[in-house]
Amino acid sequence: MRNPQHEVAIGRLSALLDHILDQAKETDLNNSKQKSHRLIENNNLFSEHLFTTQSDKISHYVEEVKNKLNEFSRLYSVSADNINRTEFAKSSLGKIEQQISGLMNAIQANKPMHQAAQVSFDARKKVRQKTNQATQVKQNDQYNNLTKSVLLSSHQLYQQLSEHHEFERRLMDMVAEREQQRMRTKPGNNEQLSQEVLALHQRLGRCRKAISVIERNIELAEKNNLR
């Protein structure tokens, strides 16, 4: 005997998954165009107990759920009409709905997650540029006649700058990691993660202020040395 309620649920979930798949494909395409995606493409989007798929493409996870829904529909239609059939339907549909909820959260969190990755990507690039600049400055002829104390001071400033940029990069990686954890945590159970993210942003703000101070000191030191 057919259960109209379950058939309606299957139809509703199938239509919803088609819509989510379109969104996922568009999101995957946008991600592929961003250099910052390389920083997070090896991170698992979901916990292993929720999906068996391992990919940086959200659409691949949508396909897993669509296959699972089709398999459930097939098994449900041929199973015997008994209490086990009802429990099977509740359990399967409940898991599918959890997966769909996870997919919708992932698509919604994709943009801020990549924004955080972009900041980290830019920070790494800036560190490389500053390191190259420091090397060029130290090799420049205008510093050949500077006293040892001036050379030591300049070296220390650039060393501090490099260390602070590296610290900034690690903080951004930590922010991105906590954001992913918070995305996978059920609402209401992520208060601690939210506090950790807030604390990390505060530390990041202090780090960037220190970087600005060091950069100003380098600029002043270089102006004084060229006089």
Query: What is the 3-class SS of 42-69, one letter each residue?
Result: CCCCCCCCCCCCCCCCHHHHHHHHHHHH
Whether this prediction's pTM lies above 0.85 is answered by: no
CB 67 within 8 A of CB 14: no
Tell me what pLDDT residue 199 has: 86
**What does the block give as tokens for 3?**
């259960």
pLDDT digits (tens, 9 = 90+) for 132-171: 776 666 655 554 444 444 444 667 777 888 888 888 888 8
Tell me what pLDDT residue 10 has: 85
CB 154 within 8 A of CB 221: yes
**What does the block give as tokens for 44?**
């698992």
Tell me what pLDDT residue 150 has: 47
CA distance to 172, 195, 199, per residue, from 192 (Å): 18, 5, 11
In terms of pLDDT, which residue wins out, 127 or 210? 210
Number of domains comprising the chain:
1
Tell me what pLDDT residue 61 has: 92
Say whether 96 sits in a helix, a strand or coil.
helix
**What does the block give as tokens for 79?**
């199973």
pLDDT digits (tens, 9 = 90+) for 18-65: 999 999 999 889 888 877 666 665 666 777 888 999 888 899 999 999
Tell me what pLDDT residue 152 has: 45
Tell me what pLDDT residue 26 has: 92
Place of tokens 């918070």: 182
**What does the block give as tokens for 130?**
């500053």
pLDDT digits (tens, 9 = 90+) for 68-120: 999 888 887 776 566 677 777 778 888 999 999 889 988 887 777 767 656 66
pLDDT band for 225, please (50, 70, 90 cuts). Answer: low
- The amino acid that residue 124 corresponds to is R
Whole-number percent of the chain with pLDDT over 90 = 11
Q: Give the range of the structural domain holding residue 102, as residue numbers without chain letter.
A: 4-225
Tell me what pLDDT residue 108 has: 85
